[in-house]
Structure 1
Amino acid sequence: MGPVGGRAAAPHRDTGSGYAHRPHGLLLARASRVFAHRGGRAFCRRNSHRFRDFCGLSTDARISVGELSVNCQEAWVACHDMTWHGKVNHALTKYAGFQIKRVGKAKKGSGPGGGASASAGDRRLVRAPADPADRLLVAPIFILSPVRSGSTLLRATLNAHSMLHAPHELHVRRLTVGFGTSLAREAMEALGHNQADLEHLLWDRVLHRELVRSGKRFVVDKTPANAFAFQRIATCWPDARFVFLLRHPASIARSWHEASPGKRTPEEAALDALRYMKAVQRAREALPGRPTLRYERLTGDPEGELRRLCAALDVPWEPGMLTYGPQEVLRKGLGDWKDKIQSGAVQPGRALPAPEEIPEVLVPICREWGYLPDSAEPA
């Protein structure tokens, strides 16, 4: 229960006459004034203990706000038929400046970390820009990869290019926009903007500002969780370019466990990383024809792999990409922070796991990505 619109009800204290002083009891009493005419009283009387328990009142206690004074049992009777949510909260807001909110499970988002973006509520809100002028960015580049797959290494090499600005993980899709009042919503709707439109404008502005400050031509974002929102990203920027980065699933799971050994077991790490792998695979199937790199090739033949990527992105190859130098941001949660990435140059990767070392849950995705002898897709 929290204040709405900056208003707050002054607490009513017990003066010794048996009146309740708990604020939530007073607020429900206010609501009872509006709903006292509703039916179901017999049932409510049988369940009035629920109201008493909630307010901490006795059966005969009375609740008083100004001229309103009701018996606790009567208040429960009046407030029971709150089907509620909208009408009751309307009354509470009007008379006391408060609302009741039920604590429950977080809304489902597009991936880990939750998020109250427009897509979590109604995907119909998500739409392409009505006018090309709505976007400042031109052809942004998004690397879609699972966690612990070498995306920080790829980002560092791309950021060393004179035309590409690839900062740390930005998580812009978690930036949300809310309407403080109904008038704000109506004003934006009158301009043709819904919540998703405004979020897209915000994302575009944040990335564009970062790009302008760099003095380069194209921005690159490698946030792994973007794989869960590739459809919305593609809708926000119709000219967006996508690059896929794969790694042996068992190596991903092992590295994911090593990143936080006290947080997850090897088995839990494999299952958690698999969520990202499946999201990337869904994106690959929905966005065919995009360039796909592999961590094993990037570390084994970095020049060959980066030359191929530069050609796909229509930018010239630059030898300085191989010695990308020190990184400004090396922090857990914003990219890799281990010794290899701090070296400033591409380092060899670890040996591939043997087939018998692959966790059973990862065998299907290993086969799908070409990491098993009987795979259809060559690794």
Structure 2
Amino acid sequence: MTWQRRLNEALRRYAGVRFERVSAALPDGPSDGPSDGAAETSPETPRPPADPAHDRLLTAPVFILSPVRSGSTLLRAMLDAHPLLHAPHELHVRRLSVGYGTSLARRAMEELGHNQADLEHLLWDRVLHRELARSGKRYIVDKTPANAFAYQRIATCWPDARFVFLLRHPASIASSWYEAGAGKRTPEEAAADALRYMKAVRRARKGLTGLTVRYEDLTADPERETRAICAFLDVPWAPEMLSYGTPGVIRKGLGDWQDKIRSGTVQPGRNLPAPEDVPEPLRPMCRDWGYL
């Protein structure tokens, strides 16, 4: 036994704490997510639930996959106004992890048929189910933008999950991301960082089946778009979705959508940038998404 392990064992025995090596994952925050093209990994291979009837409490959870600054907060508020849909704030459950305190705990879990990824999936499902049960509604909606980097893991955890892809003009995303940074990023850095999310969403759209919604369409004709979303989710359309929120309540950190949330009604979005004003790094994505 090395001196590090002896020290750790003594700390565990007498103080109830121990040291663990921290992985080199990127920290949570606005730029959460692996670098473009990197796959989200687990210490052990993620796999679908072995016994879905007992391993999962949630039924058909809904995930909004979108880049940052794409209107996901607006869409979340509209969906949360539906009597059957509970859409809480960003939960980042994929960043919750579990570990074995001892080798005995590992062996005990292995005897039950669980690897570490299985246990994490049980935790994620329980956290989301608790929020859903407390709401009294039928389905939960999670709109954490960084989930796009882990779409495969999410689809593995919940094989019956449903996905809504929310797109916005890439140049509008980059501009909003720059403005939200309050001097933290240059326009070029904001465009590059936002592009990582766009590429993650593009990969998710190729790898999953789901409904694509455009922010510009959502703000131009919210009834038509919310009716399409409800049809996809197999729930009746609810007019409350068009008059969500509490008038007069200011919610911080919503940027472009603060006034929309405050008023409780959907307002028109920004004018689209002229083609000549689109930064060169964003042009391929604009063409891919049909904006150029």
Superposition TM-score tier, normalisation by shorter sequence: 0.7 to 0.9
DSSP-derived class of the 2:140 partner: strand
Deviation (angstroms), 1:342: 2.1
The equivalent of 2:92 in structure 1 is: 171
Distance 1:128 1:300 in 2: 39
Which one has the largest radius of gyration? 1
Distance 1:305 1:207 in 2: 26
The equivalent of 1:238 in structure 2 is: 159
Identify the range of structure 1 (186-195 vs 203-212) with the bigger mean alpha-carbon deviation. Answer: 186-195
The equivalent of 2:286 in structure 1 is: 366
The equivalent of 1:311 in structure 2 is: 231
Q: Which amino acid aligns with 2:177?
A: W
The equivalent of 1:223 in structure 2 is: 144
What is the alpha-carbon root mean square deviation over aligned residues?
2.9
Q: Is the 8 A contact 2:180 2:255 kept in 1?
A: no
Q: Which amino acid aligns with 1:264?
A: R
The correspondence for 1:187, drawn from 103, 108, 121, is 108
Deviation (angstroms), 1:92: 6.0
Evaluate the alpha carbon distance shift between residue 108 and residue 154 of structure 1 in structure 2; reply closer, same or farther with a 3 A threshold.
closer
CA offset digits 1:4-46 (Å, max 9, x no partner):
xxxxxxxxxxxxxxxxxxxxxxxxxxxxxxxxxxxxxxxxxxx
The equivalent of 1:50 in structure 2 is: none
DSSP-derived class of the 1:274 partner: helix
DSSP-derived class of the 1:167 partner: coil
Q: Is the 8 A contact 2:211 2:232 kept in 1?
A: yes
The equivalent of 1:198 in structure 2 is: 119
CA offset digits 1:283-303 (Å, max 9, x no partner):
000114x11000000000101
Distance 1:264 1:361 in 2: 16
Q: Which amino acid aligns with 2:62?
A: I
Distance 2:147 2:101 in 1: 28
- TM-score in terms of structure 1 length: 0.67
Distance 1:259 1:179 in 2: 39
The equivalent of 1:321 in structure 2 is: 241
Q: Is the 8 A contact 1:141 1:219 kept in 2?
A: yes
Q: Which amino acid aligns with 1:302?
A: P
Evaluate the alpha carbon distance shift between residue 335 and residue 161 of structure 1 in structure 2; reply closer, same or farther with a 3 A threshold.
farther
Deviation (angstroms), 1:189: 1.5
- TM-score in terms of structure 2 length: 0.87
Identify the range of structure 1 (209-218 vs 106-115) with the bigger mean alpha-carbon deviation. Answer: 106-115
The correspondence for 2:178, drawn from 248, 254, 257, is 257
Match runs of 1:1-379 below 5 Å: 89-90=4-5, 106-107=24-25, 112-113=31-32, 120-122=41-43, 124-132=44-52, 133-288=54-209, 290-326=210-246, 330-332=251-253, 338-372=258-292
Distance 1:242 1:207 in 2: 16
CA offset digits 1:192-242 (Å, max 9, x no partner):
111111111111011111101111100000000000011000000110000
Evaluate the alpha carbon distance shift between residue 353 and residue 114 of structure 1 in structure 2; reply closer, same or farther with a 3 A threshold.
closer
Distance 2:49 2:203 in 1: 24
Distance 2:171 2:135 in 1: 37
Q: Which amino acid aligns with 1:353?
A: P
Q: Is the 8 A contact 1:152 1:335 kept in 2?
A: no
Q: Which amino acid aligns with 1:273?
A: A
CA offset digits 1:225-283 (Å, max 9, x no partner):
00001100000011000010000000000000111121111111000000000000000
Distance 1:193 1:329 in 2: 45
Q: Which amino acid aligns with 2:185?
A: R
Q: Is the 8 A contact 1:330 1:336 kept in 2?
A: no
Distance 1:349 1:107 in 2: 35
Evaluate the alpha carbon distance shift between residue 303 and residue 96 of structure 1 in structure 2; reply closer, same or farther with a 3 A threshold.
closer
Percent of aligned pairs with the same amino acid: 69
Distance 1:329 1:262 in 2: 23
Evaluate the alpha carbon distance shift between residue 105 and residue 220 of structure 1 in structure 2; reply closer, same or farther with a 3 A threshold.
closer
Distance 2:28 2:41 in 1: 7
Distance 1:130 1:192 in 2: 9
The equivalent of 1:63 in structure 2 is: none
Distance 2:156 2:264 in 1: 35
| Number of equivalences | 280
Q: Which amino acid aligns with 1:292?
A: T
DSSP-derived class of the 1:125 partner: coil
Q: Which amino acid aligns with 2:138?
A: R
Deviation (angstroms), 1:90: 4.5
